[in-house]
Structure 1
Amino acid sequence: MADFRRMPEWEQAADRHTELIDPVITVRQLSRFEFTRKVQTRIDHALVFSTAKGSYDTFLPPMRPTRAESASKRYSAVYEVDMGIHPVQAEFSLPSDNDAFLFAVLVDLSWQVADPARFVAGGHRDVPRLLLGELEQAARPVTRRHSIAESAAAEQAVLAAVAGQGPLGAAAGLAVSWTVRLRRDQENIDHQLRLQAINHSATERMLTERRGMEIDEVLDQRARRQDELTVARALEYGRQQQELTLEQERWRHDQAMLHSEHQLELQRYEAEKIDFYQHHLQQGGVRAWALHLAQHPEDTALVMNSMREDQLRLIQAQTDLVSRLLGGDLAEDYELEGPKRLALDKVFEILNQRLPGVRHAATPPMPDQPPRMAPAAPAEPAPEAVTATPPAATPQEAPP
C-alpha cells in the first residue's frame, strides 16, 4: 500500500468497538505519484479508490492495488471503509387508526457494508437513520390500518410489508438483519394492565366463591354424614341402653322373686321353728332342757344345776302355799275345803315326784277323807288355787 503523505480530508478516531453511524473511516485525496512506499492498514477495512471518470474500484481485505494499477487508472481519492458488523437498537412511534394512540416500535438491527463502492457512491453518512427511515416508510401505512388494540395484527402486517419491499439497505450496499416489535403506548398498556388486574381480581373472586361453594358442599356433606353417624350411634346406644335397662329390670325382678321366695322360706322356717320349739316347750321343763342339751351338749352341768334349783324352788313354793292354806283363817271352813283338798293333793304329788315335769300315775284319794262337796257358789279361793300353779311353769321358761 502507498504511503499517504497528505492529511486525510475525513478521519474518525474509531476502533473495533466504536459505535459507528458512518462506516467510512478516512477520505484522502491522491496525486499521480503518491504511491512511494507501502504502509500497513487494518485488515478488516476495505479500500475504495475513485477515478477521474467517476468510477470506483473496491479492494476488499486483504487485497490492495499495486503501483502499476494506481498509475494506470490515475486514482484521485481513496476511501477506507469499515467492513465490520454493527448492532443498533432503536425505538420510535407509529400512528394507529386514531391519532390519539401511537404504536411503540422497537427495532433491533445488525448492519454491515456488503458493497463498499456502492455505499461510497451513495454518499450516505448515517446508516441507522437510513435503515430506520426505510423501515418507517414501509410500516407507517400498515399501522394506519389497525387500531391500538390490534398490536399483534399490526406487527405481523409490518413484518410482511417490510419483508415485501426487499432487503433493507440493499440500495446503499448494506447487508442488514432486523426484527420489529410493536406494542401499545404506555397509557394504553397501563390501562390494559388495570383492566387485566380487575379481570384477574374478579376471576379470582369468582373462583374463590365457586371453590368456596364446593368446599361448603363438601363440608355440608361431611356434617350430614357426621350427623347420620351420630344419630345411628345414639340409636344404637339407646337400643343397648334399653336392652341393658330391661336386663337390669329382669335381674331385679328375679332378685326380688328370689328374695320373696327366700323370705317365704325364712317365714316357713321360722314357723316350723316356732312350732318345733312350741311343741317341745309345751311338753315340760325336762323336754325343753333335753332340747337345749341336744343343741349345746357342753352345757350339761349348767342344765343339771338349773333343774335342781328349779325343783327346790318349786317344792318350796308349793310348801309355802300349802302352809298358808292349812294354817290360815282367811275364810270359812266350807270355803276352804276345796283348796285344802287341792293342797293335800299337791303335797302328795310333791312327795311322789322325782323330777320336775315328769308325770306319775294318779294316786287314789285317802280312804279316811270325806268326799268333796261342791261349793254353793263360786268362791274367791279358786283364783288362788289357779295362781298356785304358775310357779310350776317357771322351770319351763328357764331354758331360753
Structure 2
Amino acid sequence: MADFHRPPEWRQAADRHTPLIDPVLTVRQLSRFEFSRKGLTRIDHALVFTSPKGAYDAFLPPLRPSRSEVAAKRYTSVYEVDMGVHPFRTALALPSDNDAFEFEAAVDLSWQVANPGQFVRSGHRDVPALLVGELQLAARPVTRGFPIAQSARAEEAMLRAIAAMGPLGSSAGLRVNCTVRLRRDQENIEHQLRLQAIDHSSTEEIRAAERGMESDVSLDQRARRQDQLQLGRAAEYGRTEQELALQQQRWAHERAVLRSHQEIELQKLEAKKIDFYQWHLQQGGVHQWALHLAQHPEDSLLVMNNMRDDQLRLIQSQMELVKQLLAGDTAESYELEGPKKLALRTMSDILNQRLPGVGQNPPVLPEGDPSATATATVTQQPQLEQGPEPAISTASVSEPAPPPPVPPAVPPRPSYAPGDVLPPARAEAAADTPATIPGWQPPPGYGSSPAPAPAPAPAPAPAPAPAPAPPSGEDDGPEQEETPS
C-alpha cells in the first residue's frame, strides 16, 4: 500500500483541547495512487476530497473511502476537518442613540462544523470572526435606536433581530448556539450607582423620621395599654381570689359532710362486725372453730385435734357426772327418777355420737328410755328390732324441746378475712339463706347443747327406779312398765 511521500500544504499543531478558529487541520494534494488509509490520523475528523471537476465529497467519521474508490474518482486533494464543538466568548461595543454612550454586549456561543464540504467550499479561515461579524450586522442597527438607559428594551429588540436573521454560520455549514447580554457602559453604571446611593440615603432618613414618629405613637399606646392591663389584672386577680376563697369554703364544707357520712358508715360497719362476732362467740364450739377455719384454712389439722380433745373431755365429764348420779344414795328413789332418766339419755347420747368420718349407727338403747325416739329422729338411722317396749309416761315426751337460738341477720361466710364486714347488699342476701342445713344438729358441746326434756309429771305412787343401762347399750332384762296416770 502506498504512503504519503510529500508533506501537506497546510497543517495545524492542534490536539483535542486546543482552541481553534479554523476547523481545517490539514490540506494535502494527492496523486492517483498516493492515498493510504493508514497514513490518516484522528478517526473523529471528517475528510473532504476534491475532484478535478470541482466536486467536494465529504466522508464523516468513521467512514473512509477505499483506495480503489479514490483512484477511480481521481481525487486531487484531501481536507481534514475537525468535527468537535468549540466554545467562544467575547465582548462587543454596540452604539446607542447617543454616540457618547455605547452598550456593552457579552457574547457566549459555541460552534461546530455540521457540513464539512460546505465549509471547505466557503473558504473561511476564522470562524469566530465570521460569527461576530454576523452578530454586529444584525445588532448594531437595532441598538442605535435606543438610549443608553433603556438597555433592557434594546436587548429584547436585538434578540428578535438575531432570530429573524436565521441561524448564525449556516452559510458556512456551521451549527451555532448563541447567547447575547446587553448592558450599559461602566461610567453610566457607576453614575446610576451614585444616584441610587443618594436615593437610598434620603429614603433612609425619611424612613427613620417616619418610623420615629410611629415609634413614639406606639410607645404612648403601649403605655396606655399597660395601664389598662394592670387595672384589668388587678380586678381579675381580686375576682379570682374571691372565687378561690368561696370554692375552698365549699370544699371544706363538702369534706366535713363527707367525713360525717363516712363516720356514720364506719359506725354501722362496726356495729355489724360486733353483732357478727358476738353471735359466733355466743354459739361457741363448732361455730368458733368454723369461723377460725374460714379465716385460716391452713389450720384444719389444729382445728380437728382441738375438736376431738374437747369432745373427749366433754364425754369424760358427762360420764363422771352420770356415775356419781347413778351411784348416789343420799336421796329417795322417786326423787332421783327424773335425774336418772336424764342421766340415761345423756349416756345414750354419749354412746351414740361419733367422731367426724364415722358412720352414725348408734347401739340399741334400753327399753323404756324416752330418748330413743328423739335419737332415731335426729340421726334418721334404723334401729335394731327389740322386744316389746314397756309403756312410758307421755308427759315426758309430749312437750317439744325449746328451739335453738336464732342467728343474727348477717350469718358467717367462709370467705371472710379477719376484720372484714359484709356490705349492706351482701348482708341482705346472706340473711335470706338458712343458717343451718335442714335435719342437721351439731354434736353435744358444739353449738347449742341438746335441750333436756322437761321433768316428768309426778306419779300417784312412787315406783322403783329402773336399773341403769350397761355401757355396751344392751339391756340386761325387761324394764318394769310404768302405769300411765
Shared fold (TM-score, shorter chain, > 0.5): yes
Equivalent residue number for residue 49 of structure 2: 49
After TM superposition, give the deviation of residue 52 of structure 1 in Å. 1.1
Alignment of 1:166-315 (within 5 A): 166-223=166-223
| Cα deviation code 1:118-145 (max 9, x no counterpart) | 1111110110010010011000000011
Confirm or deny: 8 A CA contact 2:37 2:64 kept in the other structure.
no
Equivalent residue number for residue 66 of structure 2: 66
d(CA) in 2 for partners of 1:10, 1:152: 46
After TM superposition, give the deviation of residue 98 of structure 1 in Å. 0.5
- SS of the residue corresponding to residue 69 of structure 2 reads helix
d(CA) in 2 for partners of 1:132, 1:2: 43
Equivalent residue number for residue 33 of structure 1: 33
Alignment of 1:101-140 (within 5 A): 101-140=101-140
Confirm or deny: 8 A CA contact 1:2 1:39 kept in the other structure.
no
Structure number with bigger Rg: 1
After TM superposition, give the deviation of residue 3 of structure 1 in Å. 3.3
Confirm or deny: 8 A CA contact 1:97 1:144 kept in the other structure.
yes
Letter in 1 for 2:150: E
- Runs of 4 or more, structure 1, over 3 Å off, are 222-231
d(CA) in 2 for partners of 1:194, 1:34: 71
**219-228 or 24-33, which moves further after superposition?**
219-228
After TM superposition, give the deviation of residue 226 of structure 1 in Å. 6.7
5+ residue gaps, structure 2: 232-485
User: What TM-score comes out, normalization by structure 2 length?
Assistant: 0.46
Letter in 1 for 2:146: H
Percent identity over the alignment is 69
After TM superposition, give the deviation of residue 67 of structure 1 in Å. 1.2
The number of residues matched between the two structures is 232
**189-198 or 144-153, which moves further after superposition?**
189-198
d(CA) in 2 for partners of 1:165, 1:147: 23
Alignment of 1:279-358 (within 5 A): none
Equivalent residue number for residue 13 of structure 1: 13
- SS of the residue corresponding to residue 100 of structure 1 reads coil
Q: CA RMSD in A?
A: 2.2
After TM superposition, give the deviation of residue 36 of structure 1 in Å. 5.0
d(CA) in 1 for partners of 2:67, 2:192: 68
- SS of the residue corresponding to residue 172 of structure 2 reads coil
d(CA) in 2 for partners of 1:37, 1:116: 19
Letter in 1 for 2:114: A
Equivalent residue number for residue 164 of structure 2: 164
After TM superposition, give the deviation of residue 209 of structure 1 in Å. 2.0
After TM superposition, give the deviation of residue 91 of structure 1 in Å. 0.2
d(CA) in 1 for partners of 2:61, 2:27: 17
Name whichever structure is richer in helix by fraction. Answer: 1
User: What TM-score comes out, normalization by structure 1 length?
Assistant: 0.55
d(CA) in 1 for partners of 2:117, 2:176: 17
Letter in 1 for 2:167: P
Letter in 2 for 1:201: S
After TM superposition, give the deviation of residue 227 of structure 1 in Å. 8.0
Equivalent residue number for residue 22 of structure 1: 22
| Cα deviation code 1:241-300 (max 9, x no counterpart) | xxxxxxxxxxxxxxxxxxxxxxxxxxxxxxxxxxxxxxxxxxxxxxxxxxxxxxxxxxxx
Q: 1:114 to 1:228 in 2, by over 3 A?
A: closer
| Cα deviation code 1:370-394 (max 9, x no counterpart) | xxxxxxxxxxxxxxxxxxxxxxxxx
Confirm or deny: 8 A CA contact 1:151 1:183 kept in the other structure.
yes
Letter in 2 for 1:80: E
After TM superposition, give the deviation of residue 205 of structure 1 in Å. 2.3
d(CA) in 2 for partners of 1:134, 1:59: 29
